[in-house]
Amino acid sequence: MSQVITRFPPSPTGHLHLGGARTALFNWLFARRHRGKFILRFEDTDRERSKPEYVNSIMEALKWLGLNWDEGPYFQSERLHIYHNFAHKLWEEGKAYYCECSKELLEEKKKKRLEMGLKPGYDQTCRSKNLGPKEGRVLRLKVPEIGDIVVEDLLRGKIIFSADEIDDFILLRSDGTPTYHFAVVVDDIEMKITHVIRGDDHLSNTPKQILIYKSLGVNPPYFAHIPMVLGPDGARLSKRHGARSVLEYREEGYLPFALINYLARLGWGYGDEEYFSVKDLIEKFSLEKINLAPARFDPDKLLAVNAYWIKNTSSDLLLKYLQPFLKNYSVSSFPEEYLISAIDTVKPRTKTLKEMVDMLHFYLVEEIDYEENSAQKYLTKTVLPCLEKFLLDLKNLPLEDHKLESYFKDLTQTFGIKLKDLAQAIRVSLTGRSVSPGLFEIIRILGKERVERRLKKALEFIKNL
């Protein structure tokens, strides 16, 4: 096999969503698996809907996911002269012809054909007129009137289409811009694309594109049409199913490699394995493992995958991904070791980076606020003597788990209160909340100085009740 070259050709008419990201991922993985090239190309000939901000957004999303491209980005809007050269070649060789039928005339023809019970295709009025290029004329491909068009799909096998189902379709519009079918074929030829991996909603486009390849005397690439991603209800995936753009998932606190893991498992599998690093995916990905049944998006499963990767990622790497979420804190005033130790305590308990920052809050501020219900329930006159004694003993108290545990048991027995009540009182004193990481690790990470300040504040709070 020659060098594998795949491509991802988004239209910059919106942000990158999950379905497009999965298509990009499968192309990227296939190229990386075979040590080939992955090309980024923007199909931006829709001048009204294509926006530079969407180009930037799509590239930012791909970079965040780690789907780096080897060539590009190419823009179809900058390649019009190439399409015109290919179009001129087809016209000169008699494989395409210019058509001067107006939109009104074409609409009238369509109406008559429907009334006659015929399919609404073009009736070849201009096919034998030998018209040349002229403003307002379109260029049409001369489609064979009989015969079959065979699509050799790597996933689905041989699919046969009849040529008489396809009319003489347009290659160049009246304003000189190429149609989707023509531009994509020319681009794939010029960029030497070997494998076209795309959604199965494109399968109906493939026969027309194969006809263009044949007219140009070029063998088509290998095609693999992957099933669409559906919502949990079986309908086409949309925002109402909880799906967001890729960058929105970044803002919600998802890890890029967690999203990659989840997207790869949408319609692809490797035995019973659920969790894959990017390196694992490159080693194990193959088209043969793609399931032909449509994949269904499950936001709860995605959240679970993200939680898994948060729990199983080193805290120093998590700190890097947390940085954008820590803008409201003076993180630079804390030693890195302190931050990493704090992350260690919360990562088994969080599902997103956003949640993690919320749970880290008490580590990152000097002054904490109490949850009203927690303070009322646990910061009471009953625990006041215990907290005073703890504050008095703190300076000389060893901070090992077993010694702290023994100390608190003795303390509760001395003052006749439940261990749970004392633990919760100290928890609220140090974190402001009744739910937090383990109490002993909190004391150890905060350090005696911070613990002392927060205990004094809690004692003042109780005395002022």
- How confident is the model over 316-351, as pLDDT tens digits? 999 999 999 999 999 999 999 999 999 999 999 999
The second-level CATH assignment, the architecture, of 315-463 is Orthogonal Bundle (1.10)
Active site residue 239: yes
Considering the domain 79-226 in this protein, what is its CATH number? 3.40.50.620
H or E segment to which residue 199 belongs = strand 195-199
The residue from 111, 239, 289, 456 that is catalytic is: 239
Whether the pLDDT of residue 141 is over 80: the answer is yes
Instruction: Tell me: pLDDT of 118 over 80.
Output: no
**CA-CA distances (angstroms) from residue 216 to 6, 85, 88, 212, 346?**
21, 12, 11, 6, 61
Mean pLDDT of 233-256: 88
CA–CA gap between residue 205 and residue 225 (Å, rounded): 11
Among 222, 139, 206, smallest CA distance to 179 is for 139
pLDDT score recorded for residue 147 = 85
The percentage of residues in the chain with a pLDDT greater than 70, rounded to a whole number, is 100
Look at the block and give the residue holding tokens 């016209």. Answer: 91
Residue tagged 């294509």 (tokens): 50
Mean pLDDT over 207-232 rounds to 95
Cβ atoms 5, 193 nearer than 8 A: yes
Average pLDDT over residues 133-140: 95
Can you say whether residue 217 is alpha, beta or left, with left for phi > 0 and alpha for psi between -120 and 50 degrees? Answer: left
What's the pLDDT score for residue 383? 95
- Mean pLDDT (the chain, rounded): 94
Which of 114-118, 210-214, 229-233 bottoms out in mean pLDDT, i.e. has the lowest?
114-118
| Segment 393-426, tens digit of pLDDT | 999 999 999 999 999 999 999 999 999 999 999 9
| Beta bridge partners of residue 75, listed in sequence order | 42
On whether the CB atoms of residues 355 and 325 are closer than 8 A, the answer is: no
**Nearest residue to 166 (alpha-carbon basis) of 138, 130, 141:** 141
Token pair for residue 157?
Answer: 């096998």
The residue with tokens 């048991």 is: 409
The pLDDT, as a whole number, for residue 151 is 94
CATH class of 5-76+229-308: alpha beta
CA 40 – CA 69 distance, rounded (Å): 6
How sure is the predictor about 96, in pLDDT bands with cuts at 50, 70 and 90?
very high
Domain ranges of the chain: 5-76+229-308, 79-226, 315-463
What is the pLDDT at residue 412? Answer: 94
Is residue 351 a contact partner of residue 299, using CB atoms and an 8 Å limit? no
Q: What pLDDT is recorded for position 240? A: 76
Cβ-count burial of 96 within 10 angstroms (0-12 exposed, 13-18 middle, 19+ buried)?
Answer: buried
User: What is the pLDDT averaged over residues 42-62?
Assistant: 93
d(CA 247, CA 64) in angstroms, rounded, equals 8
Q: In CATH terms, are 5-76+229-308 and 79-226 the same topology?
A: yes
DSSP 42: E
Strand ranges (DSSP E) for 60-175? 71-75, 96-99, 138-141, 148-153, 157-162, 170-172
Would the pLDDT of 214 be above 80? Answer: yes
Beta bridge partners of 197: 224
SS3 72: strand
Q: Residue 229 carries which side chain, given as an amino acid letter?
A: V
The pLDDT of residue 310 is above 80: yes
Q: Are 458 and 429 in contact (CB under 8 A)?
A: yes
The DSSP annotation for 223-258 comes to: EEEEPPEE-TTSSBP-GGGT--BHHHHHHHT--HHH
Could you tell me the pLDDT band of residue 117, with boundaries at 50, 70 and 90?
confident
* Token representation of residue 285: 């990905």
pLDDT at 120 over 90: no
Q: In what order do the strands lie in the sheet with 71-75?
A: 5-8, 37-42, 71-75
- Do 193 and 7 form a contact (C-beta atoms < 8 A)? yes
The residue-averaged pLDDT of 34-41 equals 98
* pTM exceeds 0.85 for this model: yes
pLDDT band at residue 1 under the 50/70/90 scheme: low
So what's the pLDDT on residue 292? Answer: 93
User: Above 80 in pLDDT, residue 144?
Assistant: yes
